Amino acid sequence: MENSNFPYSSGMTPHQSPMVSPGTLQSFGLGPTPTPVMPPSNSSMYPTTPGAPMTPFSPAPASASEGSGIIPTLQNIVCTVNLGVKLELKKIALHARNAEYNPKRFAAVIMRIRDPRTTALIFSSGKMVCTGAKSEDFAKLAARKYARIIQKLGFAAKFKDFKIQNMVGSCDVKFPIRLEGLVLTHGKFSSYEPELFPGLIYRMLKPRIVLLIFVSGKVVLTGAKVRNEIYEAFENIYPILKGFKKQ
């Protein structure tokens, strides 16, 4: 299900980080020097000769603003779509596979498919929420699969106003972080209450992303509408986190 207009990922192997094209990184405002695109550190696709260009795309870095070299992996995409027709939830629950419907508790059918592994909430208005996909393409594909199931049950389902509402990514900076220090200097953006939750909640303004930063160095990024926002937020936080590395 490869969309050739989409430069990022095949979406096939969730563990393989996508190659970010140089055009995207220029929008990060990292300066006039083109930033090299570096593959994740666990792959050895390119020679590591110092001074030699790291990739075919751009020249070797000259300054300290290299970029983190870490690309967050998408873990969850939440999207919505309007099937455009009123639905009979009981009929759907009785005839579709892998469906739950308990109107006393929740007024929607909860349906799941195995590929892409996702869960959908289907409402009688015809609106649907689809969660759990690992990429934008998978989210759209899954939503289409659910729409197809509803169509096969006899409803004139369409695929109106598909929209990705939220994207979650995660990564590891590979060093421990002094969260206490971070909340002292970045008090306006951070909230750290270790007795409530072990992670520091960093509310970045540009892009508007919420990051959960943990002592271990693991970072969760959420609130994005597009993949770039996750990448941008991480590139913004990385130098700050490096400043609070635990020695």
Contact flag: residue 148 with other proteins (CB under 8 A): no
Q: Of the two residues 78 and 99, which places its CB atom closer to other proteins in the complex?
A: 99
Q: Count how many Cα atoms sit within 13 Å of the Cα of residue 166 in the half-sphere of its side chain.
A: 13
Q: Of the two residues 66 and 88, which places its CB atom closer to other proteins in the complex?
A: 88
**φ/ψ (deg, to 5) at 195:** -75, -20
Please check whether residue 199 is in contact with residue 214, taking contact to mean a CB–CB distance below 8 angstroms. yes
Task: Tell me, residue by residue from 35 to 74, as one string, x for binding to other proteins by CB under 8 A and - for no binding.
Answer: ----------------------------------------
Name the minimum Å distance from CB 112 to other proteins: 9
Give CA–CA dist 9/140, Å, rounded: 14
Contact flag: residue 201 with other proteins (CB under 8 A): no
How many C-beta atoms surround the C-beta of residue 176 within 10 A? 14
Considering only 87-95, 119-127, 171-179, 218-226, which stretch makes contact with other proteins by CB under 8 A? 87-95
Tell me which residues in 88-117 interact with other proteins (CB under 8 A): 90, 93-94, 96-102
Question: Among candidates 42, 72, 46, 79, which has minimal Cα distance to 172?
Answer: 72
Q: Of the two residues 90 and 208, which places its CB atom closer to other proteins in the complex?
A: 90
Give CA–CA dist 220/22, Å, rounded: 24
Contacts to other proteins by CB under 8 A = 90, 93-94, 96-102
